[in-house]
Amino acid sequence: MSVQNEFTKHAKDYNNNNIIQQIIAKALVREIASTPKTILELGCGSGQVYKNITWEICEYTAIDFSLSMCELHPRAKNINISCFDFDSEEFFNFLENKNFEMVISSSAMQWSKDLKKLVARLSNVTNTINAVLFTSNTFKSIQAITGNKSPILDTNTIKEAFLHSFNCEFEVYNYNVEFENKKKLFDYIKNSGVSGGTSLSFKDAKKLYKEYTLNYLEFEVIFVKTISKS
């Protein structure tokens, strides 16, 4: 199952299964020192970033590749919502002749098929990007048991992609989310979308259920704040 289909499939339940996404979206907005009036958000989902913004915005452009997720986003006269894959030429054409005070993205850009290219294109429409991305160390204990490589970009790849176009500040944080029992823990993996559309074989799933003894899931995220264009 593709990443896009994964988010679409679980769109209705997303707000009940995105604990960590809500935490980092709130942290991302809290760390924004300015009050940009025109914003482009990549991977807007159901609006967890927008819901944390407290200042007045003239124009908020929200992008997500899942139509089901876009339908959950708040509506207002100053909000423009479009369904785009942010790696597509369609989206790059959409950016032509546009300018934004800030580009924001929370737990989305790690799914880019060519992050360096995406950031370079964004540098044509903004001087400032504030983003937070999951890294490949998310679910690292699960990967150690199954031997499966993470579908998420690693920290160095993310840094290199942004530094190609911008001078940046980076901060890496680790979070553990605890669960009452193993069933709820595995249900979270299935429904949250963090797995990126990858699925375990029956053999791997059985092994993981038997050998995973932690009562929490591990997440690693990197906060990116651009300082100037490189």
Tens digit of pLDDT for each residue in 4-17? 333 333 334 444 55
Domain 3-138+149-176+220-229 grouped into CATH 3.40.50.150: yes
- Region 161-177: mean pLDDT is 96
For residues 24 and 139, give the distance between their C-alpha atoms in angstroms, rounded to a whole number.
16
User: Residue 15: how many CB atoms within 10 A of its CB?
Assistant: 15
Res 200: pLDDT: 66
Res 12: pLDDT: 43
For residues 130 and 147, give the distance between their C-alpha atoms in angstroms, rounded to a whole number.
33
For residues 213 and 132, give the distance between their C-alpha atoms in angstroms, rounded to a whole number.
29
Beta-carbon contacts of 67 under 8 Å, excluding residues fewer than 6 positions away, are 8, 83
Tokens representing 67 are: 């139509």
Closest CA to 43 of 116, 120, 134: 134
Give the pLDDT confidence of 172-200 residue by residue, as tens digits. Answer: 999 998 999 988 888 887 776 665 445 66
Give the pLDDT confidence of 82-103 residue by residue, as tens digits. Answer: 999 999 999 999 999 999 999 9
The single-letter DSSP state of residue 85 is -
Res 202: pLDDT: 78
Q: Are 59 and 50 in contact (CB under 8 A)?
A: no
Angle at 224 between CA 219 and CA 227, to 5 degrees: 165
Give the pLDDT confidence of 21-79 residue by residue, as tens digits. Answer: 888 999 999 999 999 999 999 999 889 999 999 999 999 999 999 888 888 899 999 99
When pLDDT is cut at 50, 70 and 90, the band that residue 2 belongs to is very low
For residues 164 and 173, give the distance between their C-alpha atoms in angstroms, rounded to a whole number.
23
Residue extents of the structural domains in the chain: 3-138+149-176+220-229
When pLDDT is cut at 50, 70 and 90, the band that residue 229 belongs to is very high
Beta-carbon contacts of 144 under 8 Å, excluding residues fewer than 6 positions away, are none
For residues 152 and 172, give the distance between their C-alpha atoms in angstroms, rounded to a whole number.
15
Give the pLDDT confidence of 97-122 residue by residue, as tens digits. Answer: 999 999 999 999 999 999 999 999 99
